[in-house]
Amino acid sequence: MAEEVKKIMFTVRKPPHGSIYVYEGLEVKLIMAAYDADISVVYMDDGVFALKKGQNTKELGIKGFEATYGALVDYEITKVFIDRESMESRGMTEEDLLIIGEDEDTEEPITPTVVSSDEIAAMMAEQHNILAF
Amino acid sequence: MKLAVCIYEGPYNHEASDTAYNFIQAAIKRGHEFKGIFFYHDGVYNVTKLMEPPQDDRHIANRWSALGATGIDIVVCIAAAKRRGIVDEVLVPNVRISGLGQLTMMAIEADRLVVFGD
């Protein structure tokens, strides 16, 4: 008997650079998206910086991953959310958000969806499991 | 309850590995079942037999190996391990290297996936 598809959420709360958590966390998302699970990702706290466009890690001498973020939709990671309060308290606006893919039909660029902490709490309550990075 | 554990931090440097171990022991005593233990990030360093801590301290790798001997599936992420020089040859017994698909299965099959780390 087919079981219902499990909802698995990732939270990203750490800044994208300075530690490897966010980068290796991205690798987990890309793999899990290939499985039969309902994947969503929420960026909050310093994690919102991971969704800032125009990142350049050249001077840091490390491999950046902004390009992979640009292909999240291609990896079938379409439920990408960012916490409004975390974003605004760090001086970021929707204009700062990078593109995570494009709409299959309209070819319109897709950016992360800005949500409130109440909306995040409601989504969290529905999850089977949550992984934090 | 069916549980799974994911450990992000290396041994001795951080309490995550100890806390996870104590959590697992306590949960087993309470009758919970473990679908697996997954080491990620610097957590992959927890199960190398090359570690040689002072004799009057706990031996973290041997402790995980003993837990694996009881039948709990202990998995080291291959991508994280390769990055850090952890290969089959340096692993303690009862631990295996595999892919993130194993963590995915744990996240799907366990009622609770408990993450230890920063």
B contacts of A24 (beta carbons < 8 Å): 40-41, 79-80
Pairwise pLDDT comparison (B30 vs A104), residue with the higher score: B30
Contacts of A77 by beta carbon, 8 Å cutoff, 6+ apart: A29, A30, A33, A39, A41, A100
pLDDT tens digit string along A86-97?
A: 999 999 999 999
**What six digits make up the tokens of B108?**
């799907």
Reported ipTM: 0.90
Task: Find the DSSP H helices in A60-116.
Answer: 66-69, 84-89
- Average pLDDT over chain B, rounded to whole? 98
Q: Are strands A109-110 and A101-102 parallel, antiparallel or unpaired?
A: antiparallel
Amino acid at A30: L
Q: Which long-range contacts (CB under 8 A, 24 or more apart) does A58-66 make?
A: A60/A17, A62/A17, A65/A16, A65/A23, A65/A26, A66/A98
A28 → closest Cβ in B103, B108, B110: B103
A98: number of Cβ within 10 Å: 18
Is it the case that residue A2 has pLDDT exceeding 80? no
Nearest to A8 among B80, B107, B115 (CB): B107
Inter-residue contact A77 to A39 (CB < 8 Å):
yes
Confidence bin at B30 (pLDDT 50/70/90): very high
Predicted confidence (pLDDT) at residue A53 exceeds the cutoff of 80: yes
Active-site positions of B read 77
Residues 6+ away with beta carbon under 8 Å from B47: B39, B61, B64, B65, B74, B76, B86, B91, B92, B95
The encoded tokens of residue B45 equal 């360093």
Chain A residues within 8 angstroms (CB to CB) of chain B? 6, 8, 14, 19-21, 24, 27-28, 31-32, 35-37, 128-132
Q: Tens digits of per-residue pLDDT, B66-89? A: 999 999 999 999 999 999 999 999
Q: Which amino acid is at B98?
A: S
